[in-house]
Amino acid sequence: MVEKLEGKLFVFDLDDTLIDNVHDYAQPILDATRLIVEELGSRAPHVTKIVNLEQEIDSRRVKEINPATGSPFLFSMNRFPGSLAKVYEHIFLTAGVVPRIEIGAKLFLIGLTAFDEKRYGKNIKPGVKEVLNFIAENNGVSVLLSKGDRGVQAKKIIALENAGIAAADFAEIIVVENKSSKDFAEIRKLRQHRICFSVGNSYESDIVPALEAGYKGILIPVETWEVIGKMDEILAKVDKEKCFVFGNLFEIKEKWEELA
């Protein structure tokens, strides 16, 4: 029989909620852009067009089928590096130049540098340990629910542990390819807390499926590559009766009494 608890349950996102992730891709994109310009010279598009094309292609490839697996790329590790190679192919073919296999391979390796685990520990958000401790001290429970490549996310979880944020700070750590209302419903069913919150930076990914499962939301917005230029539109969609919008993690502690 599952013990019924009266405390609050918090399901935390990982990327750009507990660990900054948004700029991990910036240097590889810049390095790839430089290589493309060096290879194509005066026939290369302006760098802004190259960067925008990368955004367009990478966003599209999230739902495209990975021929190696037969499943959508989603947020797997090889999507982004492959997108850089696709940008190169598109630009060269448009310019009437045959892409070279070795350059595509080099761009793929450049893309892999986005997953340099040495930066994960440096990118942990301020207040993570303090807020998790506060929740525990107030009869609350925290769960980590992250979407992404399991191997990459495992390295980020190790970075949390190395920073003193141990697995013991979370009742459960779950990594999925894409979050669904079913994931949130199963977490809630196991713990049966009176009030459940999903904490994340993405309204569509972290909050909406949780609301469908009977949670409330705590949105801490971050303008990631998925939502560039759309923040005002996204905030206008937020269900203010069911979702709080905070500026940082510390507000969970500061506004504890309001979270009801």
Q: List the CATH number of the domain containing 135.
A: 3.40.50.1000
Per-residue confidence band for 185, with pLDDT thresholds at 50, 70 and 90: very high
Predicted TM-score (pTM) of the model is 0.86
**Domain, as residue range, for 129:** 8-22+120-258
For the stretch 33-66, pLDDT in tens is 999 999 999 999 999 999 999 999 999 999 999 9
In a domain, 2, yes or no: no
In a domain, 1, yes or no: no
Domains contained in the chain, number: 2
Distance in angstroms (rounded) separating the CA atoms of residues 244 and 258: 10
For the stretch 230-241, pLDDT in tens is 788 889 999 999
- In the chain, where do the E strands start and end? 8-12, 65-66, 71-72, 141-147, 172-176, 195-200, 216-219, 243-245
pLDDT at 2 over 60: no
Indicate whether 191 and 227 sit together in one domain: yes
Assess contact for 78 and 66: CB atoms under 8 A.
yes
Q: For residues 5 and 13, which has the higher predicted lDDT (pLDDT)? A: 13
Indicate whether 105 and 157 sit together in one domain: no
pLDDT at 1 over 50: no
Indicate whether 148 and 193 sit together in one domain: yes
pLDDT at 3 over 50: no
Q: For residues 192 and 59, which has the higher predicted lDDT (pLDDT)? A: 59
pLDDT for 190 equals: 83
Q: Which residues contact 122 (CB under 8 A, 6 or more apart)?
A: none
What mean pLDDT comes out for the span 158-180? Answer: 92
Indicate whether 126 and 13 sit together in one domain: yes
In a domain, 3, yes or no: no
pLDDT for 6 equals: 59
Domain boundary among 115, 141, 176: 115
Per-residue confidence band for 23, with pLDDT thresholds at 50, 70 and 90: confident
Indicate whether 138 and 231 sit together in one domain: yes
Domain boundary among 50, 82, 115: 115
Indicate whether 79 and 127 sit together in one domain: no
